[in-house]
Chains A and B, each alone.
Chain A
Amino acid sequence: MSASYTAVGWNRQKKIYDWVIAGLCTAYLTLFALLTLIFNDQVTLETLIIRSTSTLAVLLLHIILAIGPLCRLNNKCLPLLYNRRHLGVTMFSMALIHGVFSLFQFHALGNVNPLVSLFISNTNYSSLPAFPFQALGFFALFIFFVMAVTSHDFWLHNLSPGIWKTLHMFVYLAYFLVVMHVMLGVIQYENNPVLVIMIFTGMAALTVLHLRAAFREHRTDSQQFSKQLEGFVCVCDVQDIENGRAKIFCIDKERIAVYRHEDRMYAIHNVCKHQGGPLGEGKIIDGCITCPWHGYQYLPQNGQSPPPFKEKVSTYDVKLIENKVWLNPIPFAEGTEREGALIKN
């Protein structure tokens, strides 16, 4: 969380995250090079770079796409989400190296502009086995490029979260293009089924994860609350919520996070103003509700970010009757002070 524009708001966690990414990528590339040299000592440096960076980019893309649903299914995966954008930029860098070297190796030595050659050297668009798969890779790389250059919060604020999220959902189209780029490209020249099995397994795992997470979210959205009293809805017992944590309830199609902080219960809108993160899955740090996605913070009693930040979310009325938590789903204006419900021991 930063009050003004900074290229990267470095902190200890981000540094650790990036060192881990760099270490794992280096280890992968080294291992790939060693194994290739053991089994194919005729390989050229260009080919080695093209193959190692492409496989690493595909692997990273699968990890990136798995992080979202994994976090929704299990809170322990949330640290992976914290700096996912740096993982995305790393993936784009690997894909870019693969693209540039491929363009040079296969299209740069002729008398035609390499980018033009990429599109005119194969025009078999009506044939599946001879399909110009390189064009699919090019368009996927273009989407990754747009995502990488707009990944900073500067663009999130200037484009608005809605447009930014829509733009970044093109990653799914890019994923489809990458899968077809691999299937119609390298796999057409390989008799070994291992690559097909790997791509299929990756695709199946991602699909199952995303659909499982989506249906689980759908169940949360479909919660029914039978007990109602003067506009309040009985949602749970007091002891169901541990101190410093929250539970999320969906009432009238809105998700509300009920937090227990010290000796009081507070309720705020569940959606973080930054990127729509689930505030109810976070925890209270330094007296502030902290979004699990990127660490944006809000005070539980008024839903306002601590100064100098200006983000605000709606607050709700909570009351406790005989050890039960009752919640009024009608929101107060964003940033409205509520005293919370006192927990009597």
Chain B
Amino acid sequence: MIKTLRKRHLRVWIVLAIVLPIGILLSWLVIPNQAAVKLLQSHEQPLLPVIWKSKDLINYQVTIRTNQQHKQWQLEWVNKKILEVPSTVIYRVNGAADIAKNELIGRIETRGSYTFPLQWIAGKEQSFQFILYDFIHQQIIDSINFQL
């Protein structure tokens, strides 16, 4: 190596010796305490025994489940095919004009079965209308409505 190159290497490594530890330290400090995706539900939670209503569509099967007393409710979502949009979430429509202000149920990704608990307040008029929403491209992909 010629002297100019040696000097250049030395300068570069002095800069890296300062910048790299700072970068690593800052990145380490901002690691979230919880997993970034909190809305994915595992299938391991037990399915409620009663199938209240079900819709079998081309890409997915959507089922509303409940228990014998109709006090607990579940949404069972089975992706038959890989979704074309990876950034897909399910909202339960509560009448809000802004989609983001509807009730966020969860996120679905690859092929498989997803189970999400549904809230049910006795005596209150409620719907089981869902929309599949691509939050990156901000587009409604599908709408599924169960008539009460």
Taking A183-B23, A253-B3, A276-B1 as contacts, is the C-beta distance between A211 and B28 under 8 angstroms? no
Complex contacts, A106 vs chain B, CB 8 Å: 86
In the complex, A65→B123 CA distance in Å?
69
> Is residue A189 contacting chain B, with contact meaning CB distance below 8 A?
yes
**Which residues between 229 and 262 of chain A lie within 8 Å of chain B, taking CB atoms?**
253, 255
A214 to B8, CA, bound (A): 10
Report the minimal beta-carbon distance from B55 to chain A, rounded to whole angstroms: 24
Q: How far is the CA of A184 from the CA of B23 in the complex (A)?
A: 9
**Secondary structure call for the A interface:** helix
A189 to chain B: which residues have CB within 8 Å?
Answer: 35-36
User: How many A residues touch B, CB cutoff 8 Å?
Assistant: 41
Alpha-carbon distance A109/B82, docked complex (angstroms): 9
Contact with A121, one of B3, B28, B83, B87 (Cβ below 8 angstroms): B87
A247 to chain B, nearest CB (A): 17
| Total inter-chain residue pairs, C-beta < 8 Å | 92
In the complex, which residue of chain B has the Cβ closest to the Cβ of A105?
B86
Say whether B24 contacts A121, CB under 8 Å: no
| Cross-chain contact A179 with B24 (CB below 8 angstroms) | yes
Q: Return the CB mask of A166-185 against B: 1 if under 8 Å, else 0.
A: 00010010011001100110
Residues of B within 8 A of A (CB): 1-3, 5-6, 8-10, 12-14, 16-17, 19-21, 23-24, 26-28, 30-32, 35-36, 82-87, 136-137
Besides the known contacts A111-B84, A176-B19, A183-B27, 13 further A-B residue pairs in the complex with CB atoms under 8 A apart: A128-B27, A128-B30, A165-B5, A169-B8, A175-B16, A179-B24, A183-B28, A188-B31, A200-B21, A200-B24, A214-B9, A214-B10, A215-B10
- Chain A residues with CB under 8 Å of chain B are 106, 109-112, 121, 128-129, 165, 169, 172, 175-176, 179-180, 183-184, 187-191, 196, 199-200, 203-204, 207, 210-211, 214-215, 217-218, 221, 253, 255, 271, 276-278
Interface pairs (15), CB distance under 8 Å: A106-B86, A109-B84, A110-B85, A165-B5, A169-B8, A172-B16, A176-B16, A180-B23, A184-B27, A188-B27, A191-B31, A200-B24, A211-B13, A211-B14, A214-B6
